[in-house]
Amino acid sequence: MRTRLLATLLASAAVALALLPARTSQADPEFVANFGTAAPEGTPWADQLKDIKERVEAHSGGRIKVKLFLGSVLGGEVEMVRDIRRNARLQGGGFSTAAIAEGANIPLLQLPELPYLFRNNAEADYVLDSILWDPMKAELEAKGFVMVAWAENGWRSFGTKRHPVRTPGDLQDFKMRCQETDVHQKMYAALQTQAVTLPISETLTALQTGIVDGFDNTPLFTQAAGLYEPIDYYSLTRHIYQPAAVVWNKKFFDAMPPDLQTIVMGDPKAESVKGRKGVRDLEQELLGNFPGMGVQVVELTDAERQAFANVTLVVHVQFGQEVPGAKAMLDQVNAALAKMRG
């Protein structure tokens, strides 16, 4: 017990020391940024953020130093986003759009996570890059953020104990962990399912202790965060495509001279492509890993997925009615999707 307590205290002290500003000297960087994320070590997200750190430090000639804090060591996603907004413990980070929407108080940013809005990656990429980039970047700037690039969590499906999920009614047997955002809560309400809103950092413990019986997330995050351990089934509903984004605090960014701002921004389009590719290249391999982990992968038919889409369409209607500016933007997105689908 004493050993465990000592280890906990030492870990907390290490994080606290890492957050302290460095002593000034002629060789010290001009800007030091703490960069947070829920992305665990060894994932494409963590690798991408490490690449950003290395690029910024190298191209700035050491004038900018970036300290990475992976795996939610500084708290849940929403908490970290609020830290960035205050320019407090953190100056930047990479997070799901739902977490940024909640932490930055930008309900419109939840739009890409409406259930069954997209049918495939090509649709999601087109809408995010060609329709939503400029307005979402402006929304973030108004709340004190600078958006650097889209990234990706991927396609969310349901992980459950006891039995799989093939119909909306199947979900009603479970208490499901729900992400901390309105669209996700409304989805579970439409499915008449008991939802327990929890930070992702608390989800594994909640599954292990029976506080919840299931969750929805992507294959990559399910395995990287160990969420597969307490579940028996992973049902491929693919009900939400979840983007992510890399953001900085605007005051911190604006304090930099133009040459350093250019380095921090990099190439947003290339960064987005890189982030998506890193996640997508692993999907089939990850799905193939589940049986060896004791988890049965359940593939749904198109008709079974459509049943979920029919039930959750009400979330689109609610979103358009309740979020300022959402209906016009959703109409534009739906028109573009209809054109793509012929």
pLDDT tens per residue, range 279-305: 999 999 999 999 999 999 999 999 999
Bridge partners, 95 (sequence order): 245
Residue 13 has a pLDDT of 41
**What span, in angstroms and rounded, lies between the C-alpha atoms of 18 and 334?**
46
From CA 265, how far away is CA 253, in angstroms rounded?
10
Q: What is the pLDDT of residues 145-199, one digit of tens each?
A: 999 999 999 999 999 999 999 999 999 999 999 999 999 999 999 999 999 999 9
> CA–CA separation, 286 vs 288, rounded Å?
5
CA distance 80 to 19: 14
Q: Is 11 helix (H, G, I), strand (E, B) or coil?
A: helix
- The pLDDT-based confidence of 11 (bands split at 50, 70, 90) is very low
Percent of the chain with pLDDT over 90: 91
Q: Residues 55-79: what's their mean pLDDT?
A: 95
pLDDT tens digit sequence for 80-109: 999 999 998 999 999 999 999 999 999 999
Q: What is the pLDDT of residue 8?
A: 39
Residue 22 has what pLDDT?
43
Residues 6+ apart with CB under 8 A from 319: 110, 111, 114, 183, 186, 326, 330
For the beta carbon of residue 53, count every other beta carbon within 10 angstroms: 18
Mean pLDDT, to the nearest integer, of 223-227?
95
Question: C-alpha angle with apex 164: 159 to 168, nearest 5 degrees?
Answer: 95
Model confidence pTM above 0.85:
yes
Residue 217, sorted as left (phi over 0), alpha (psi -120 to 50) or beta, turns out to be beta
Q: Which of 257 and 27 is assigned the larger pLDDT?
A: 257
CA 256 to chain CA centroid, Å, is: 27
Reduced to 3 states (helix: H, G, I; strand: E, B; else coil), residue 270 is: helix
Q: What's the whole-number mean pLDDT along residues 57-65?
A: 97
Q: What per-residue confidence (pLDDT) applies to 25?
A: 41
The residue ranges of every structural domain in the chain are 29-341
Element (H, E) at 14: helix 2-19
Quick check: 250 and 178 in contact, CB under 8 A?
no
Residue type, 74: L
Kindly tell me the burial class for residue 119, based on how many C-beta atoms sit within 10 Å of its own C-beta (0-12, 13-18, 19 or more). Answer: middle
Residue range 229-262, pLDDT digits in tens: 999 999 999 999 999 999 999 999 999 999 999 9
Q: Residue 107 has which token pair? A: 């309900």
Has residue 12 got a pLDDT over 60? no
Can you tell me the distance from the alpha carbon of 126 to that of 110, in angstroms, rounded to the nearest whole number? 17
What fold, for 29-341?
Answer: D-Maltodextrin-Binding Protein; domain 2 (3.40.190)
